[in-house]
Structures are given as C-alpha cells and as structure tokens.
Amino acid sequence: MKVGFIGLGIMGNPMAGQLIKGGHELYLFSRSGVPANLTAAGGVACTHAREVAERSEIIITMVPDTPHVETVLFGENGVAQGLSAGKIVVDMSSISPVATKEFAKRINQLGCQYIDAPVSGGEVGAKNGTLSIMAGGPQEAFDQVKPLFDLMGKNITLVGGNGDGQTAKVANQIVVALNIEAVAEALLFAAKAGADPAKVRQALMGGFASSRILEVHGERMIKRTFDPGFRIELHQKDLNLALSSARALGVSLPNTATAQELFNACSAHGGKAWDHSAMVRALEQLANFEIGDKQA
C-alpha cells in the first residue's frame, strides 16, 4: 500500500520503519525533518502533510498532543487539504477522546474514514513491532488498515467507534502510572530497609506482584537510567485527559490524581523530559533517600 506517516520521533521513526520493512511505499513528513535511516530504507520525504496525503492511500499521524493532531490534519498544508474520497486517516497519537470524535466527523465530511489507534509498549515495543494497538472506528476501515497494524503490533483490538480507542489509551495510562508508583514505593521501601532492591525485584518477578512495569521500569529505577523512553510530560498530558474526563463523568480517580502530583513534583525539579519511571525520584525526595543509597 501507499502509506503516509507524519510524526517521526521516538515512536514514529521505528513504527514507520516496520512498515517499510513490510514492503509498503512510505511517504514521510516530520516537523524536525525526515530521519536519514528512513529515507535510506526507501521512504520518500515530503515537504508538508498535504503532500503526504496527496500521495498516500492511508495516512498515519503520530504526534505528541491534541493541538498537534489538529494542526497536522486541518492547518495550512495539512492532511485535509490533500485528501480525496476513499482515503483513510489513522491517528496513532494519544489525545483527547472528545476531540478525536470531532476530528473524525470533519474527515468523514471529506468522504474519508477515520480511525483513532493509540498505542502502548513504548520505544521498545515500537522497535520490536510488538505494540499494543487500541483502535476506534468503523470495522471496514479497520479491516483495511489491519495489515499495517500487524507489522507494528501484536495485541490489536478494535475497541469500538471513533474515540473509543483513545478512551482505552487513557485507561491504559492510568494503569501504567499507578503501577509505576507501586513499584517505586516497593523498591524504595526495600532499599531503605537495607535489602538489595535488585534482589527484591528478582524475587517479586516470580510472584503475583510480577508485571511488565516491575520488569522494565523497576530495573530503570535501580540502574538510574531515566533517559526516555516515555517522557514524564507526555504522561502528565495523558493523566490530564483522565482527570478532566473523570470530572465530566462524575468519577473520582484519587490515585490517578496522586500519580499526577508525583509527576508534577518531578517536573518542578526539571524532570519533564525524564522517563516516566523517574516518578520514583519524587518519592525519594519525600524519603530523603535514594534506592541506590546504603541503608541510613
């Protein structure tokens, strides 16, 4: 297929690479420039999003936040200006479910279909083609795009209509944030008590407390490897979506709010660009103790 891919950062670059490896014709655009590895692999650099849409059957966007998606789709030289009837727009960013429904209506009015398909699995999942993909949109469009999803991910679910994929992603980010907080508390407690946090993590990996967060981010906390990954500022954005949506729904999310406050504390210490596993640093500040320290 002729596929457009807009947004080629930490996640978008390897995701587009998977599609090129799969034999598809890729048309590429990114505000920061198209990475050389993608053009070397056969991808075609375009001058703007409109050109990507003009040359592609399916257009994928992977950008940081709701305003970025709106600009890419509907701004000057945006995707909408290059669409013709029958094309499919797939937004794989993590953005507002409410805005997603509005974007879908505007794309539908142009005779095109829209799928929201945010992902989970981070940079590692993008590089390995093992992302979890949560889609919202019509079955017919999903079926057409599914072969592309199969190249980028392993757990692929059509959750429901437009916006439902984004709702699933918000739920995912609640679970991830609370798991990071739990792992951080546990390893900090163990280290302060004098136990080797690496050995404690190893022991927990064999029991009911085992999780992907304990495996990957627990190791990051112990080894102090806080380069993203997934930046704290992006997880803050996702939890803002969760908390604002919860207010509108009349739902209380007390522990989500706590996780957000810990991210806010990290941000106050210059940590917006830290990996989200660095939430542990906020807890360490409260304890005046780092996991790597000897027992006080």
**Residues with a known catalytic role:** 169
Using the structure block, give the residue that is written with the tokens 């729904």: 249
SS3 for 77? coil
Question: In terms of residues, how long is the chain?
Answer: 296
Q: Tokens for 280, please give them.
A: 């542990």
Cα–Cα nearest to 58, from 114, 136, 130: 114
Q: Is 73 left (phi over 0), alpha (psi -120 to 50) or beta?
A: alpha
Which residues have CB under 8 Å from 249's CB, separation 6+? Answer: none
CB distance 52 to 29 below 8 Å: yes
Q: For residues 162-182, b (16+ Cβ closer than 10 Å) or e, as one string?
A: bbbbbbbbbebbbebbbbbbb
